[in-house]
Structure 1
Amino acid sequence: MPSKKHKPEEIIGKLREVEIVLAQGASTAEACRRIGVSEQTYYRWRKEYGGLKTDQARRMKDLEKENQRLRRAISDLTLDKLILQEAARGNF
């Protein structure tokens, strides 16, 4: 089965669907088959998105992207600073 990138909103919807199926007495494996993911994926999603509302998940993903962008900018600036320090010392 080819992998598919699920959006946070879809993941939360699928987690809610699993909760309903589990409440009806089905096994976790059966619930995962119904939503089309492996049990490992279900547990990973539950760990990351369990208890979140759709808007909270969207905001969390936006903040993670912003954090990644800022970390990249800091690393670039640090590298530039080190290069300039080396050039100022004349060690090139």
Structure 2
Amino acid sequence: MKKSKFTDSQIMEALKRAESGLAVPEICRDLGISSATFYKWRAKYGGMDTSMIARMKELELENARLKKMYAEERLKAEILKEAMAKKW
């Protein structure tokens, strides 16, 4: 996954500016992003604060690690199953 060039606090600042009444195209122009990016941020981070965003990112990383571990264990189980089938 590509790392964002914007920090959590910058994203939150942009969302707060939009809530305060600043036009979205103006915010996007200032930050150098597309309006689609802004609306993705709003859909993903709307209603959160910076600490909640950090926690969500930690959980996403942990989830990815656990998925990888599960896939490896599943592969090991399949290999053992095939080896046992050939042995008997």
TM bucket normalised to smaller: 0.7 to 0.9
Structure 2 unmatched ranges of 5 or more: none
* Match status 1:28 vs 2:24: yes
Q: Which has the higher contact order (CA 8 A, sep 6+)?
A: 1
TM superposition shift of 1:27:
3.1
What root-mean-square deviation, in Å, do the aligned CA atoms of Structure 1 and Structure 2 show?
Answer: 1.9
Tell me how far apart the structure 2 counterparts of residues 65 and 4 of structure 1 sit (CA, whole Å). Answer: 15
Q: TM-score, normalised by structure 2?
A: 0.83
Q: How many residues align?
A: 85
Structure 1 unmatched ranges of 5 or more: none
* Match status 1:44 vs 2:40: yes
Tell me how far apart the structure 1 counterparts of residues 28 and 72 of structure 2 sit (CA, whole Å). Answer: 42
TM superposition shift of 1:4:
4.9
Tell me how far apart the structure 2 counterparts of residues 6 and 73 of structure 1 sit (CA, whole Å). Answer: 30
TM superposition shift of 1:32:
1.6
Residue 10 of structure 2 corresponds to which residue in structure 1?
10
Residue 53 of structure 1 corresponds to which residue in structure 2?
49
TM superposition shift of 1:10:
2.4
Tell me how far apart the structure 1 counterparts of residues 11 and 27 of structure 2 sit (CA, whole Å). Answer: 14
TM superposition shift of 1:90:
1.0
Tell me how far apart the structure 2 counterparts of residues 14 and 85 of structure 1 sit (CA, whole Å). Answer: 53
Q: TM-score, normalised by structure 1?
A: 0.80
Q: Larger deviation: 3-12 or 67-76? A: 3-12
Tell me how far apart the structure 2 counterparts of residues 10 and 34 of structure 1 sit (CA, whole Å). Answer: 12
* Match status 1:87 vs 2:83: yes
Identity of aligned residues (%): 36
Tell me how far apart the structure 2 counterparts of residues 66 and 4 of structure 1 sit (CA, whole Å). Answer: 19
Tell me how far apart the structure 2 counterparts of residues 60 and 16 of structure 1 sit (CA, whole Å). Answer: 19
- Runs of 4+ deviating beyond 4 Å: none
